[in-house]
Structure 1
Amino acid sequence: MQTILITGCSSGIGYATAHYLKEKGWRVIASCRQAEDVQRLQFEGFECLQLDVTNSQQIQQAFEYIQTSGGLDAVFCNAGFGQPGTVEDIPRDALREIFETNVFGCWEVTNYAMKIFRKQNYGRILINSSILGFAGMHFRGAYNSTKFALEGMADTLRHELHGSNIYVSLIEPGPIQSKFRPNAVIKLHQYIDMENSFHRQAYQQQLARLNTKGNANPFTLPSTACAIACYRALSAKKPKARYQVTFPTKLFWWLRRILPTPLYDFCCRKGGG
């Protein structure tokens, strides 16, 4: 039985992927930031650890557990969140928080996994990116930046792993059913002074979009779509560098390659809502 560690399993993509891979016969070591979510997943029958990816000690403890409980074949760095806001309104504290989770946590988890994979000369690294990892859209500057950073990290690591039996793949979702939007609203209120912003009126429109019940985007897919992409990457003899999930992600990937920058920028502004 193959073993995978998945970060950020309390809901959404991580939760769906944990269920899907378990059904496919994988030994899934799920992890969550909050103790109550760990207990919930353990009650559901998962092998689940408390792992806040901003906590280096918890990352170390998780890998100590892994090394003494049967090893590791793959890791899915999924933990992350969104921070809405214009670039001019995002304070440094907000940037520190989102980079600690979305980038630095992923980087450190990958470093620990690589120690295992180098010794055994095989392994799979999956990193949850986004359409916003290559299409910079407005009001998402902080999140865009973390996902662009992950894309650069993954591309570099792929070069460094050339010729080995260790593969790295980016999972690039677009609109997916999850708690992403409600969580983003919390961060918007936490860090952005909307009332005194130049973009005050635009923020009201963004709040209306983020608070929309149901799916704000007609191309929204269930979280299982990302789980299926992860399984394809894990099952392939030579996995692809990128797995685009949802129609908008596939569309914008090709638009970026064929359109001149001004026209592509126009599409991003329209597509960004």
Structure 2
Amino acid sequence: MAKTILITGCSSGIGLDAARGMKARGWRVLATCRQEADCERLRAEGLESFPLDYADEASIIAAVEEVKTRTGGRLDVLYNNGAFACPGAVEDIPRDAFRAIFEVNLFGYQDLTNRLIPMMRAQGHGRIINCSSVLGLVGIKWRGAYVATKFALEGLTDVLRLEMQGTGIEVVLIEPGPITSRIRANSIPHFEKHIAWKTSARVEEYRSLLGRLYGEKTKPDRFELPPSAVTKALAHACESKRPRARYYVTVPTHLSGTLRRLLPTRALDWVVKKG
């Protein structure tokens, strides 16, 4: 019997490649998206897909019941992947923006995880894989809200890994660096909704940010890799007898993880500023 993985955020980018890649490896993939229209598109290409919106507790509850119905109450792997960004200087990010991004990038992850752990306990095994980021290791300007969620996810996942020891449930972090995706384009509505940049003390700095945010991307960022690089790490995390606690993906992630351990904070700040 094929093993089953539930993957969130499958409408594009990392999640979509993971769904396709794991299916190609013989896994039964339950690929969820926030919008039903995206689920229909995935079903048209032969994937099992249904809605799951991290921001909506009722949607999470319904998705868990769907998993139970489809699998008879068994699940081998949960891959928490869906997330969004809200660019802006920390001093300009209102409380509502922080609340919204934490609902999706952290609270939704753990709500879904907590509802699926009993299934994994009952079967005596399982894997919980959380997609973090290089920005869960080091922070950069204009990404404060996203960085905050990923730093929190790193800590929460570390504690969950310790607490699950002896249960047969493995807990893993995947930490991508720059990956080809729609996260920048998808962040624009959140920026427009929450950031009053025209009245900010940093208005001139924002004018430069707008060019990067709205400008058409003509080439990959430095060190950028395709989503398949993350899928490769995911496959190892799912199929290895003893998965790693962390999987760094891309050169910047390896470099950031090393420098964070070795450098004093001010020295690391200097490196990050230089890019």
TM range (shorter): over 0.9
2:273 alignment partner in structure 1: 269
From 191, 211, 230, the counterpart of 1:188:
191
CA contact (8 A) 1:185 1:207 kept: no
Measure how far apart 1:269 and its partner are. Answer: 2.2
Residue 134 (structure 1) shift: 1.4
Q: 1:188 and 1:216 mapped to 2: Cα distance? A: 22
Partner of 1:259: 263
Residues 1:199 and 2:202 aligned together: yes
2:49 is matched with which residue?
A: 48
Q: Secondary structure at the match of 1:68?
A: helix
- Cα distance between partner residues in 1 of 2:121 and 2:86: 35
CA distance in 1, matches of 2:218, 2:117: 39
2:104 matched residue in structure 1: 101
Contact kept in structure 1, 2:180 and 2:220, CA below 8 Å: no
**Structure 2 counterpart SS, 1:41:** helix
Q: Tell me the equivalent position of 1:156.
A: 159
Match of 1:245 among 235, 245, 249: 249
Aligned residues: 271
* Equivalent position of 2:227 in the other structure: 223
Q: Which residue of structure 1 aligns with residue 10 of structure 2?
A: 9
TM-score (structure 1 length as normaliser)? 0.96
- 1: distance between equivalents of 2:39 and 2:126? 25
* Matching of residue 140 in structure 1 with residue 140 in structure 2: no
8 Å contact kept, 1:209–1:216: no
Runs of 5+ consecutive residues of structure 2 not aligned to the other structure = none
What does residue 129 of structure 2 align with? 126
CA–CA separation in structure 2 for the residues paired with 1:265 and 1:150? 22
Deviation at 1:209, TM superposition (A): 2.1
In 1, Cα distance between equivalents of 2:270 and 2:188: 26
Root-mean-square deviation (CA, aligned residues, Å) is 1.1
Which residue of 112, 117, 122 maps to 1:114?
Answer: 117
Counterpart-to-counterpart distance in 1, 2:226 and 2:19: 14
Deviation at 1:212, TM superposition (A): 4.3
Q: Say if 2:223 and 2:252, in contact at 8 Å, map to a contact too.
A: yes
Give unmatched runs, 5+ long, in structure 1.
Answer: none
2:17–2:227 CA contact under 8 A, matched in 1: yes
Task: Return the match for 1:92 from 87, 90, 95.
Answer: 95
CA distance in 1, matches of 2:175, 2:77: 18
Report the counterpart of residue 69 of structure 1 in structure 2.
Answer: 70
Amino acid at match of 1:191: H
Same amino acid, percent of matched pairs? 47
What is the DSSP-based 3-state SS (H/G/I as helix, E as strand, rest coil) of the residue aligned with 1:243? Answer: strand
TM-score by length of 2: 0.96
**Residue type matched to 2:110 in 1?**
W
Letter in 2 for 1:63: V
Hey, what does 1:59 align to over in structure 2?
A: 60
Letter in 1 for 2:182: K
Q: Counterpart amino acid of 2:160?
A: L
Q: Distance in 2 between matches of 1:243 and 1:57?
A: 32
Rounded to whole Å, the distance in 2 between the matches of 1:112 and 1:25 is 26
